[in-house]
Structure 1
Amino acid sequence: MSQPLRIVVIIPDLAVMDDQEDHVRQQLERSRALRMGLLEAQYDVVATLPADVFLHERIAQLRPDLIIVDAESEARDALEHVVLATRDERRPIVLFTNDPDTTHVPDAVAAGVCAYIVEGLAPPRIRPILQVAMARFQHEQALRAELKDARDELKDRKTIDRAKGILMQRQALSEKQAYDRLRKLAMDKGVKMVQIAQRMIDAAELLG
């Protein structure tokens, strides 16, 4: 049986507000409903944190699987803290908000928000929302990995081509002969061909 998702919930810092104000009570009720919905869906809420300057350290220590931002208003401010806290290690982010201003949704999605839910905190909706968010995040991570592999492959190919050019010019070899030479050297040394190619380039630059 798989372990439940470890979730950190980000909420406004209510300690700095007047606890008699209506919007504070509403936020407390929202946060309570969210936690109850997560518990009912058998998720593991490891912490409830304010969106402040210490968030980066706390996220790094807790290493959650998913981050939920519960923002009654001022969603942009909360997101800025979360994005800064996750820039070194991306994590799926889900935003629940009552903020009707959605002009910054494109920026939020670009920053890593996998689900942006306005007035949709009903407990029965929580599990499908988080499942979709996790699936989207995993898909995007796979695409990022594929893109990185493609870029690395292109970079390696350019390095090998450059080393082949050095051999062709300095030893009067054909392209195939230069390639075979690099491949044999790599096999003899037990390393990748791109490593041999880079060493050859470095030596050529050193010797001029």
Structure 2
Amino acid sequence: MLCRMPDVLSIVVVETDRERAFMIVDGLREAGDFDIQVISEPSGLARQIQMRDPDVVLIDIANPSRDVLEELTLATGPKERPVAMFVDRSEDGLSAAAVEAGVSAYVVDGLQPARLKPVLDAAIARFRLFQRMRTELAEAKRALEERKVIDRAKGMVMKARGIGEDEAYALLRKAAMDQNKRVADVAQALVTAAGLLA
């Protein structure tokens, strides 16, 4: 299910340095109308973010280690919301690890107030793209599983009635219409019942 961003975004800024936090908040206020909250103490980050339930998470960290990156990205629920991470320096492979962990935007060379809005917009767009892709993939997997169940049920009907594939499917479809159900649901019920009787 795709999430829709509200008109006024709530943003959680994770920043331990007070001066940098003020700079980020000021930059965001200049860029638009946002509901901004700052987390200055990253211990218990997952709980803090969950309590605030923001639309977007913005993390500013000087030099993340792989452990810090993993902890931060897991804490922000990257599958639930866009995450933008600003870093001053990055080791080889950290940007790829950040993307794999679900960070929507990973910006090296620090945070500059003028870049906040474009980076947030890019993070949201990228998050929506990946969210759409995850939804489409889940739907494709579900359709494939349903197709397999329908094929099994068709095979069972063909064997039991001594009829062809088209006739077996027509029987499943008629049963589905009579019961006001989907063909996949009728097929699943048939496969489940056959499993109990076997």
**Same fold by TM-score greater than 0.5:** yes
Q: Give the equivalent residue in structure 1 for 2:12.
A: 8
* Contact 1:75-1:97 within 8 A present in 2 as well: no
The alignment status of 1:45 with 2:45, answered yes or no, reads no
Render the CA deviation track for 1:154-205: whole Å, top value 9, x for unaligned: 1111110000000011111210111011111111111111111011001111
Counterpart secondary structure, 2:74: helix
Q: C-alpha separation between the residues in 2 aligned to 1:89 and 1:101?
A: 24
Correspondent of 1:80 among 36, 56, 70: 70
Q: What's the secondary structure of 1:179's corresponding residue?
A: helix
1:97 to partner: Cα distance: 1.3
Gaps of 5+ in 1: 13-26
Q: What corresponds to 1:101 in structure 2?
A: 91
The answer to whether the Cα contact below 8 Å between 1:75 and 1:99 also exists between their aligned partners in 2 is: no
Equivalent residues of 2:76, 2:83 under 8 A apart:
no
Deviates more, 1:82-91 or 1:106-115: 82-91
Partner letter of residue 60 of structure 2?
A: D
Percent identity, aligned pairs only, is 39
3-state secondary structure, aligned to 2:104: strand
Q: Describe the SS at the equivalent of 1:95.
A: strand
Residue 194 of structure 1 corresponds to which residue in structure 2?
A: 184
- 2:191 maps to a residue whose letter is I
Letter in 2 for 1:114: S
Structure 2 residue corresponding to 1:34, chosen from 24, 27, 37:
24
Decide which of 165, 173, 179 is 1:183's aligned counterpart: 173
Distance 1:4 1:87, change over 3 A: closer
Q: Aligned partners of 1:139, 1:198: CA distance in 2, in Å? A: 32
- Quick check: 1:186–1:196 contact (8 Å CA) kept in 2? yes
CA 7–99 in structure 1, closer or farther in 2 if over 3 Å, else same: same
Q: Specify the alignment match of 2:3 in structure 1.
A: none
Per the normalisation by structure 2, the TM-score is 0.88
1:90, CA displacement in angstroms?
A: 2.5
Alignment of 1:147-158 (within 5 A): 147-158=137-148
Contact 1:168/1:178, CA 8 A, preserved across alignment: yes
Q: Cα gap change, 1:34/1:139 in structure 2, threshold over 3 Å: closer, same or farther?
A: same
Does the 8 Å contact 2:85/2:107 carry over to 1? yes
TM, length-normalised to structure 1: 0.84
Q: d(CA) in 1 for partners of 2:177 and 2:193?
A: 19
CA shift, 1:87, in A, is 4.4
Distance 1:129 1:38 in 2: 11
Aligned length: 192
Which AA in structure 2 matches 1:149? E
Residue pair 2:87, 2:109 contacting (<8 A) in 1 also: yes
CA contact (8 A) 2:62 2:88 kept: yes
Q: Give the distance between the partners of 1:181 and 1:101, measured in 2 at CA.
A: 61
Alpha-carbon offset, residue 49 of structure 1: 4.5
Measured at CA, do residues 74 and 88 of structure 1 come closer, stay the same or move farther in structure 2, by a change above 3 Å?
Answer: closer
Of residues 95, 100, 115 in structure 1, which corresponds to 2:105? 115
Q: Could you say what the CA RMSD is over the residues aligned between the two structures, in angstroms?
A: 1.9
